[in-house]
A = this chain, B = another copy of it.
């Protein structure tokens, strides 16, 4: 794992510092009668010499106003060069001294939020970060609605345009904060799920969601900012992380590189909980992955009061074991609006650990208890009374929702168990258990173990990856080894088909209790209760 300090300590993580693009401040030799090399060719020559490359190409798009640029800059220029092996290609050009470094943009293409990072490729260093709402939400909260919307006349275009505009807007903003021109951004890397990747590429996602669930493209190559309508340096290379089918998106590839699964000496697990749950198990010699529907409930997307971890979301819950008093924390300390993923897991676990629900997820409170309320969905637990909430409506969790949560966590545990069994491993043999995404960032592993969603292994083995989609994009910008690893992982990862057979159903049924039918699988859970 890379330490995400001011300076990215990528060497310590077994990666190298070899940025996708390097930039140079150059004095271009003035044309003379004795040296009448073309204006573009003499720049390529200067870059080649400075960068020590065998060959440097110069794109036509940068050639048209070269004479004016030389005259304006008095032949003192800043040039950024895409490096691949011993060959280079000039991708950005400005009058000297230029932006004072080599800067790129890393983007996490989330379906709800877009996160942009300004990266200094030279140091390498994460300069700044910016989070935006994904404006596609106006055409559909969930990704499936957007895929259908894309089928309407003009639908795809609207989705693509607003997404690209948001990225451009974000790039302008983050650049403005640091006195940079977006046209100086000489490289970009992006990661997202398969559908989001198709949107940024301008490709129709319709085949992704229809049997046999095939993306238009797995591994986009040779992209430039201008191809994606991005207002960076027009010739700036844009890496878009490859996907392996509908479930295994570029965000997962990014996460695997951040976790270093492809470099690990011992078996590790990584889970990413988004619209679906994706699980990858493996190490440097092999990688096996599986995906299944386990996610939405765990991310807060199914519960009626579920919401993303934005201000006002309940993100932590505690229930006193003796008094059964519930206390909660909200993001930014605002009156509660709903419950986010981590809050939901907390609530679920605390309800169980304090005995307010039983191992089947049924409320143990007797009718009449003020904490037990009746809703149109049936009996529910009162999390926050109407008097405390922002909307003035009570926040509750119904038995129906608890059942959905139970099934989701059972789904997750089933996938994990199935993948492990396929290679004959047990949970205690797992060296590191990486939890990707926002889910992994905020969730308390103790709570996830308590409800039987994650296996009962020593807590220190759980490693949250944070926004691994963004971090993977950053790594791709600054490290050639990371770029190679993305491709390596992409090629090596084999997909384990989760055939719905009797064994899987048994496994799932056994996991539908809290924490599990076989309590001996969760020895530590008893400890927490007492």
Contact = CB atoms under 8 A, between A and B. Distances in A.
A466 interface: no
A64 B202 contact: yes
A50 interface: no
State which size class the interface on A falls in. Answer: 35 or more
A222 B39 contact: no
Nearest to A43: B217
A221 B217 CA distance: 26
A211 B184 CA distance: 32
Contact of A33 (B31, B58, B212, B223): B212
A245 interface: yes
Nearest to A240: B60
Main secondary structure of the interface of A (DSSP, over half): loop
Interface string A215-253: 111111111000100000000000000010110000000
A216 B66 contact: yes
A203 B33 contact: no
Contact of A217 (B40, B207, B222, B497): B40
A486 B223 CA distance: 29
Interface string A409-423: 000000000000000
A245 to B, nearest CB: 5
A422 to B, nearest CB: 17
Contacts of A213: 33, 36
Contacts of A243: 38
Contact of A58 (B31, B204, B221, B497): B221
Interface of A: 31-34, 36-41, 57-61, 63-64, 66-67, 201-204, 206-207, 211-223, 227, 243, 245-246, 497
Given A33-B213, A64-B204, 8 more contacts: A31-B212, A32-B212, A34-B497, A38-B216, A38-B219, A38-B243, A60-B217, A64-B203
